[in-house]
Amino acid sequence: MELDAKIPDGPIAEKWTRHQFEMKLVNPCNKRKYKVIVVGTGLAGGAAAATMGELGYDVHCFTYHDSPRRAHSISAQGGINAAKNYQGDGDSIFRLFYDTVKGGDFRSREANVYRLAELSVNIIDQAVAQGVPFAREYGGLLDNRSFGGAQVSRTFYARGQTGQQLLLGCYQALERQIHLGTVQMYNRHEMLDVILIDGRARGIVTRHLLTGEIEAHMADAVVLGTGGYSNVFFLSTNAKACNVTSIWRAAKKGAGFANPCFTQIHPTCIPQSGEYQSKLTLMSESLRNDGRIWVPTKPGDERPANDIPESDRDYYLERLYPSFGNLSPRDISSRRAKEMVDAGQGVGPLKNGVYLDFRDAIQRLGKDKVSERYGNLFQMYEKITGEDPYSVPMRIFPAPHYTMGGLWVDYNLMTNIPGLFAIGEANFSDHGANRLGASALMQGLADGYFIMPLTLGNYLVDAPSGGVDPDHPAARDAIRECVAIQERLLSTGGKRSVDSFHMELGRIVWDHCGMARNESGLKEALKRIPELREEFWRDVKVPGSGADLNQSLEKAGRVADFMEFAEIMCWDALTRDESCGAHYREEHVTEEGEAKRDDENFLHGAVWEFKGVGEEPVRHEEPLTFEHVPLSQRSYK
Amino acid sequence: MKLKLHIWRQTSPRSKGDFQAYDLDGVSPHMSFLDMLDLLNEQILEEGGEPVAFEHDCREGICGSCGMVINGIAHGPEKLITACQLHMRTFKDGDEIWIEPWRAAAFPVIKDLVVERASFDRIIQAGGYISVRSGSAQDANAIPIPKADADRAFDAAACIGCGACVAACPNASAMLFTAAKAAHLSYLPQGQTERLQRAADMVTAHDEEGFGNCTNHGACQEVCPKGISVDYIGRLNRDVLKATLSGVEVTTR
Amino acid sequence: MRRVLTLYRSSVGKKIMMAVSGILLFGFIVGHMVGNLKAFQSHNGDGTHPLDTYAEFLREVGYPLVPEGGLLWAFRLVLLAAVGVHIIAAIQLWSGARTARPGRYRKEDSQVFSYASRTMRWGGVIVAVFVVYHILHFTTGHAHPDFEYGRVYDNLVIGFQNPLVAGFYIVAVGALCLHLYHGLWSVFTTLGVQNRRIDRIRRPLAAAISVILFLGFTSVPLAVLTRILTLP
């Protein structure tokens, strides 16, 4: 596997500008002759499809939703970072770059991250011009807040619905191009495979979710903006349909999968209320600004929260991290919460949460002020749990939320398969081992609006174009494979539901490759996952037929891919014999119990090559160098 | 809790649907309404039947996928939430619950509780945007926008496109949806240039999709999970009137 | 004209036309009610009644500048046109709505609409039937047992002495006022005349006007039935 990151020469601040000039251009009149497939309509896919349509390419855009507006980017709450320095508090492109590299615990590419910080300012301009109603000050200028422990206020937000508003801006731009005829939209089409001809990506196989028709769509380039794979854990804050299928099938066709074990756990979600629950709800991290996190000192304390005296409470984050306290980074807060629950100090009917208490904030600020800041979140919490957070502390617990790993891409966002691009959460490029708050939206949109549309032309100029139709043998083979998988799922005739398998897989991955990992657990998982996969194919029950809307069949296909993917994730976690960012190996901790990196041996991205189901995948490395951000140990004491 | 469910089952867009009754035991009051349907589907699967098809995705009230008429009310009896945010503690043991799909000619039923809402996309295509190319925008702080206007724009922009307004409207009108998008953009300075054209085009698209007209019942506002106000409809009406009087031609499509 | 037709083609346009014609008809109704109250005036010295003189005045106003009855007929034509537009637009909108909503829900929930808004269409039909009867009754006399041209007051008292006629009149006026209540407040939305103050007062305002009109109109038949108004 050849892994050339193609990082342009020159000083870091000039790389992107220089690269834009050096890239080859497609003549404006010729653009419409190039057909590009975009899969996914979230911030990355939607923005890329709209912008490439604006440029004049013949764009064909696919989503499994009924409308492009439903993509999961819509659920992002907190905000989007940009180095605008509107607050005049000393922010700069370099500072955002620096924070992101450091936050990613030195496992990302400096050049990519610098470009991301550079483009962040254009994103805000673009979004405002589209009519995204960001929060404003009374003077009419844009408001910012400090987010996720950043030392400057650089986060732009639209109430608690920033993702929704940015996605709608992007969706509207996309609909405009659909209206103008430059983008053809395929709703309710799920991508099942990528078609390679002469080693290049030349099309995809899709299943029409209403008619069941499996067909090939050919193109000159394929862009995957299909999001992350947190649903491998079954319970996550991802939308129910989020899946790994498109990037996993690409990996099976030879695309390198980078750092699959880098998965982020969000500290403030509402704990599961029972086995039946299939989806966790995230509460904005901003709650940690005023809420105090604690558990009873005594394990198994059955008293109601308000009856537990101060002396019997352990405000463990404040105790362990006196300077950051309740605002400690996501991975640290999450891990500590898990430790408390594991030690039997968990709270709530299932003893599966920790308290996030606003009693002191209400005393200090008054109920009105607290309600003004968090009213809608409190209301949401009450709707879900039936408890009033003004009088009883909230219960929270960490949940899988975002995946930093993804398809390996070079500086042009192209995978090692020529013509196959991956953008947004689907690639691995910018967040290293841990993503900072309010950076996911930034990366999706930078990739979609500003990078992908330009690097595409550079590829197309030298690539073969046109001349392949859906009858090409490669397309027919790919279709045949997809049909075979579907037939097999439908004809297994087993007894267990797809969900029950997914739940069991999720439990294995969560226990052994979740917030904390160790060698024996990962080996155990690598033993159990193939067993479960074998049972899945023997005993899964998928009712109905493949010829119409069959939600069980859709789920079965996605879970089948998770069953294979989970293994590569555990391989990655096992072989990365260090702790870094969100990847926490219990064998590698500092004296204070923090993640301990091994820069000597692991200063690289791990890129996995698929070798067959059940076969051990091959690990490749892309070495990383840090010239601008000196390697250092994170410390939040 | 034990419940008696009457659920609309329909195998395809052209077939005739009907209610089917199910007894469901073991429902916890902490379940969400969709968790409850998941439980039912597991039971149906065990008995060898085909699970009830319903749309859902984020399950936190923002994606707009889910939607069903529960006991005659779109998204169920609780205000300001979607079906996925409705929890079973709203019901009590032994309750009978009638569950139906949105009913509107412009939202044909695909299967069971799933309807096709692509007509909403086509209304947006007609003009629900500000025409700006990626990369052509000026600095974001170049035009200050009074906070009140930005807030009003946001209130309208909160629409999740679920279609409850259409489902609840006795005329199956999508004016609340259309007006919310028009209002979101018309409260902002960036949206002024295309304002009248947008109003004329979006209303034309709305009519062509086969939605009924608004007769100011206000049912849409009552069921809207985001509490979007019917006042926006008046604002859109005024823009349509202005557009016609100033001779704006509807863009032919 | 072309612009008006373009406007009419859209559903919003039809509603605007309904609103404008509705406002015209509302103006007429207010005038009519005020005119009716002349029934409570006492007879003129010559045995005629002010109501008769008023009717005579309506016929002659503008003469000789326009032919006798000219303004009255012009006014009637405008009203007729307004009624026509109001009804045709209503039927078109209704049929559009029926196509848009093919099926009903098993359990319709009625709490979310007001009674007045749900009865707009049937209320409208009742009002239309009543108007036809009302014209045949008091204007042309075809439906009046003892009609005498020009003797408006006598026709009115004789007409309302029949409790069935008076009852129907009161019920129909009730339907009309309910219709007006919803029409009046929703006209603000339809025409987009909105601000916070208007939003606050429009419903109470519509209700107050409707009640005043109801009391004004029904006072006459009630007065006849209770023998406050009698033949001389």
3-state secondary structure of A618: strand
C-alpha–C-alpha distance, residues A487 and A535, integer Å? 17
> Chain B within 8 Å of A210 (Cβ-Cβ)?
yes
Contact B135 A126 (CB under 8 A): yes
CA B135 vs. chain centroid, Å, equals 32
C-alpha–C-alpha distance, residues A223 and A422, integer Å? 6
Residue-wise pLDDT for A580-602, tens only, equals 999 999 999 988 778 899 999 99
Contact B230 C189 (CB under 8 A): yes
> Chain B within 8 Å of A544 (Cβ-Cβ)?
yes
Element (H, E) at A102: helix A93-103
Query: Is A293:A333 a contact under the CB 8 Å cutoff?
Result: yes
User: Chain B partners of C193 at a C-beta cutoff of 8 Å?
Assistant: 234, 238
Nearest CA in chain B to C14: B213
| Calculated CA dihedral for residues B84, B86, B91, B96, nearest 10 degrees | -40
Give the max Cα distance, chain C.
66
Of B104, B206, B213, the CB nearest to C15: B213
Of B46, B129, B150, the CB nearest to A176: B129
Average confidence (pLDDT) over B119-133: 97
Q: Which are the contacts of A418, defined by CB distance < 8 A and separation ≥ 6?
A: A199, A200, A201, A459, A463
User: Chain A partners of B65 at a C-beta cutoff of 8 Å?
Assistant: 65-66, 70
Indicate the range of A120-124, A239-243, B7-11, C9-13 predicted with least confidence: C9-13
Cα Rg of chain A (Å, integer): 24
**Predicted confidence (pLDDT) at residue A148 exceeds the cutoff of 80:** no
Cα Rg of chain C (Å, integer): 20
* C34 min Cα distance to partner chain B (Å): 29
Contact B215 C93 (CB under 8 A): yes
Of B72, B211, B238, the CB nearest to C108: B72
Query: Is A468:A419 a contact under the CB 8 Å cutoff?
Result: no
Residue-wise pLDDT for A510-525, tens only, equals 999 999 999 999 999 9
C-alpha–C-alpha distance, residues C168 and C126, integer Å? 11
Residue A223: predicted pLDDT: 98
Alpha helices in chain C (DSSP H): 2-9, 11-36, 50-60, 70-100, 115-118, 120-134, 152-161, 163-190, 196-225
Of B12, B55, B140, the CB nearest to A142: B140
Residue B252: predicted pLDDT: 60
Q: Which of residues 88-147 of C touch B (CB under 8 A)?
A: 93, 96-109, 112-114, 117-118, 120
Residue A277 DSSP one-character state: -
CATH number for the domain whose boundaries are B118-245: 1.10.1060.10
pTM, rounded to two decimals: 0.95
Of B230, B110, B125, nearest to B168 by C-alpha is: B230
**Predicted confidence (pLDDT) at residue B253 exceeds the cutoff of 60:** no
Chains C and A touch (3+ CB pairs under 8 A): no
C-alpha–C-alpha distance, residues A93 and C113, integer Å? 55
Residue C102: predicted pLDDT: 84
Out of A95, A207, A330, A517, which one is annotated catalytic? A330
Nearest CA in chain A to B113: A549
Q: Which of residues 228-247 of A touch B (CB under 8 A)?
A: 239-241
* B207 min Cα distance to partner chain C (Å): 7
**Predicted confidence (pLDDT) at residue C84 exceeds the cutoff of 90:** yes
Alpha helices in A146-238 (DSSP H): 162-180
**B202 - beta bridge partners?**
none
With 0-12 / 13-18 / 19 or more C-beta atoms within 10 angstroms meaning exposed / middle / buried, residue C65 is exposed
Q: Which are the contacts of B155, defined by CB distance < 8 A and separation ≥ 6?
A: B228, B229
CATH 3.10.20.30 range(s) for chain B read 3-110
Contact B62 A74 (CB under 8 A): yes
Contact C190 B103 (CB under 8 A): no
What sign for the dihedral angle of Cα A458, A461, A462, A466? positive
Whole-angstrom CA distances from A461 to A4, A27, A451, A607, B93 are 20, 9, 16, 28, 67
Of C14, C106, C120, the CB nearest to B98: C106
Q: Give the pair of three-digit tokens for residue B124.
A: 């947006």
Instruction: Give the helix, strand, coil percentages of chain A, each rounded to 5.
Output: 45, 15, 40
User: Chain B partners of C108 at a C-beta cutoff of 8 Å?
Assistant: 72
Task: Tell me the pLDDT band of A612, cut-offs 50, 70 and 90.
Answer: very high
Indicate the range of A313-317, B147-151, C190-194 predicted with least confidence: C190-194
Task: Sketch out chain C's domains with CATH numbers.
Answer: 2-102+111-225 (1.20.1300)
**Predicted confidence (pLDDT) at residue C109 exceeds the cutoff of 80:** no
Nearest CA in chain B to C1: B245
Q: Which of C92, C98, C111, C112 to mutate to test the interface with B (most CBs of B within 10 A)?
A: C112
Residue C232: predicted pLDDT: 81
C-alpha–C-alpha distance, residues C58 and C49, integer Å? 15
Residue A324: predicted pLDDT: 85
**Predicted confidence (pLDDT) at residue A159 exceeds the cutoff of 60:** yes
> Chain C within 8 Å of B108 (Cβ-Cβ)?
no
Per the listing, tokens 């109704």 go with C29
Residue-wise pLDDT for B153-197, tens only, equals 999 999 999 999 999 999 999 999 999 999 999 999 999 999 999
- Separation of first and last alpha carbons in chain A: 42
Contact A386 B39 (CB under 8 A): no
C-alpha–C-alpha distance, residues A338 and A352, integer Å? 9
Mean pLDDT across chain A: 95
Residue C116: predicted pLDDT: 66
Q: Which of C11, C94, C118, C200 to mutate to test the interface with B (most CBs of B within 10 A)?
A: C11
Nearest CA in chain C to B101: C105
| Calculated CA dihedral for residues A115, A118, A123, A128, nearest 10 degrees | 180
Q: Which amino acid is at A526?
A: L
CATH 1.10.1060.10 range(s) for chain B read 118-245
Query: Is C214:C173 a contact under the CB 8 Å cutoff?
Result: yes
Contact B235 C192 (CB under 8 A): yes
The full DSSP string for A305-366 is GGGS-GGGEE-HHHHH-TTTGGG--HHHHHHHHHHHIIIII-BTTTT-BEEEE-HHHHHHH-
Instruction: Count chain A–chain B contacts defined by CB atoms under 8 A.
Output: 213
Q: Are strands A406-407 and A257-258 parallel, antiparallel or unpaired?
A: antiparallel
> Chain C within 8 Å of B100 (Cβ-Cβ)?
yes
C-alpha–C-alpha distance, residues C155 and C172, integer Å? 19
Q: Which of B24, B33, B35, B57 to mutate to test the interface with A (most CBs of A within 10 A)?
A: B57
Of A549, A604, A607, A543, nearest to A578 by C-alpha is: A604
Residue C157: predicted pLDDT: 94
Query: Is A597:A69 a contact under the CB 8 Å cutoff?
Result: no
C-alpha–C-alpha distance, residues A138 and B20, integer Å? 55
Of B115, B119, B90, nearest to B202 by C-alpha is: B119
Residue-wise pLDDT for C192-216, tens only, equals 888 888 888 888 999 999 999 999 9
Q: Which of residues 20-79 of B touch C (CB under 8 A)?
A: 69, 71-73
Q: Is the peptide bond before A473 cis (omega within 30 degrees of 0)?
A: no
**Annotated catalytic, A330?**
yes
Q: B3-110: which CATH architecture?
A: Roll (3.10)
C-alpha–C-alpha distance, residues A185 and A174, integer Å? 9
Residue-wise pLDDT for C213-230, tens only, equals 999 999 999 999 999 999
Query: Is A608:A620 a contact under the CB 8 Å cutoff?
Result: yes
Q: Which are the contacts of A280, defined by CB distance < 8 A and separation ≥ 6?
A: A235, A236, A237, A269, A270, A272, A399
Of B57, B144, B188, the CB nearest to A241: B57
Task: Sketch out chain A's domains with CATH numbers.
Answer: 268-400 (3.90.700.10), 473-597 (1.20.58.100)
Nearest CA in chain A to B58: A239
Of A512, A473, C190, nearest to B203 by C-alpha is: C190
The full DSSP string for A384-449 is HHS--TTTS-EEEEEEEEEE--EE---TTSB-SSTTEEE-GGGB-SSSTTSPPTT-HHHHHHIIII
C-alpha–C-alpha distance, residues A52 and A452, integer Å? 8
**A222 - beta bridge partners?**
A37, A420
Contact B241 C16 (CB under 8 A): yes
Q: Which of residues 140-179 of C touch B (CB under 8 A)?
A: none
**Predicted confidence (pLDDT) at residue C108 exceeds the cutoff of 80:** no
Residue-wise pLDDT for C145-189, tens only, equals 889 998 999 999 999 999 999 999 999 999 999 999 989 988 988
C-alpha–C-alpha distance, residues C157 and C164, integer Å? 13
Of B71, B231, B236, the CB nearest to C199: B231
Q: Which of A276, A281, A372 to mutate to test the interface with B (most CBs of B within 10 A)?
A: A276
3-state secondary structure of A470: coil
More confident residue, A578 or A151: A578
**Predicted confidence (pLDDT) at residue A334 exceeds the cutoff of 80:** yes
Residue A634: predicted pLDDT: 72
C-alpha–C-alpha distance, residues A151 and A87, integer Å? 12
More confident residue, A504 or A634: A504
C-alpha–C-alpha distance, residues A605 and A258, integer Å? 7
Query: Is B143:B189 a contact under the CB 8 Å cutoff?
Result: yes
> Chain B within 8 Å of C205 (Cβ-Cβ)?
no
Task: Tell me the pLDDT band of C113, cut-offs 50, 70 and 90.
Answer: low
Q: Which of residues 165-194 of B touch A (CB under 8 A)?
A: 184-185, 188, 190-191
User: Chain C partners of B241 at a C-beta cutoff of 8 Å?
Assistant: 7, 12, 16, 191-192
Instruction: Give the helix, strand, coil percentages of chain B, each rounded to 5.
Output: 35, 15, 50
Average confidence (pLDDT) over A262-280: 93
**Predicted confidence (pLDDT) at residue A149 exceeds the cutoff of 90:** no
- Separation of first and last alpha carbons in chain C: 53
The upper half-sphere exposure of residue A187, i.e. CA atoms within 13 Å in the direction of its Cβ, equals 17
Contact C100 B211 (CB under 8 A): yes
Residue C112: predicted pLDDT: 57
Residue C66: predicted pLDDT: 87
Residue A633: predicted pLDDT: 80
Q: Which of residues 25-54 of B touch A (CB under 8 A)?
A: 28-32, 35, 38-39, 42, 45-46, 48-51, 53
Of A392, A27, A443, nearest to A225 by C-alpha is: A443
C-alpha–C-alpha distance, residues A144 and A151, integer Å? 12
Task: Tell me the pLDDT band of C121, cut-offs 50, 70 and 90.
Answer: confident
Among residues of chain C, what percentage have pLDDT more than 70?
96
Q: Which amino acid is at A45?
A: G
